[in-house]
Amino acid sequence: MKTIPYEELDELAKKALAAAEAAMEQAYNPYSHFYVGAALFTENSTIIPGTNYESATYTSICAERTAIVSANTMGIRRFQGIAIIARGESYATTEVTTPCGSCRQMLYEVAQLSGTDLAVILSTTHKDKIVLTTIKELLPLGFGPADLQIDLQRYK
């Protein structure tokens, strides 16, 4: 895990972060008033954004998972990384927001399906703090389809 200035991100990471930021503004969050945007990106520069969506039962679908499900619907299952940005309704975040446990598990699954340790780019609202990490750092000793000896070839 390391912190870098925004300017040191490569162009694909910057585009993914911009897509995550745009998605963040579409959050449906009448209960938490917390906006989260995420954007998965592939090696060939395909970017799939997602945002959080809440319901009156006080359950929510996180931005990371909406991006994963959207990508799956499009038949895209192999990724290089994900960018994540968040803010409150009336305040900017001063620290990065990390994926919740459920999202970490699904991102771990995406990483195993992709055959890579998925890059995770975390950003504050003003992009004044960028943390680069991986899903294996965020979910050490994770459990995924490879542990069940699932043949993932048919899903790639």
Other CB atoms closer than 10 Å to residue 126's CB: what's the count?
12
Do the bridges between strand 47-51 and strand 130-134 make them parallel or antiparallel, or are there none, so unpaired? unpaired
- The closest of 144, 136, 139, 131 to 84, measured between CA atoms, is 131
- Selected catalytic residue, list 8, 25, 64, 137: 64
Q: How far is CA 77 from CA 20, 48, 83, 103, 120, in A?
A: 18, 11, 16, 15, 16
DSSP letter at 28 equals B
| 11 noted as active-site residue | no
d(CA 156, CA 154): 6
Active site residues: 64
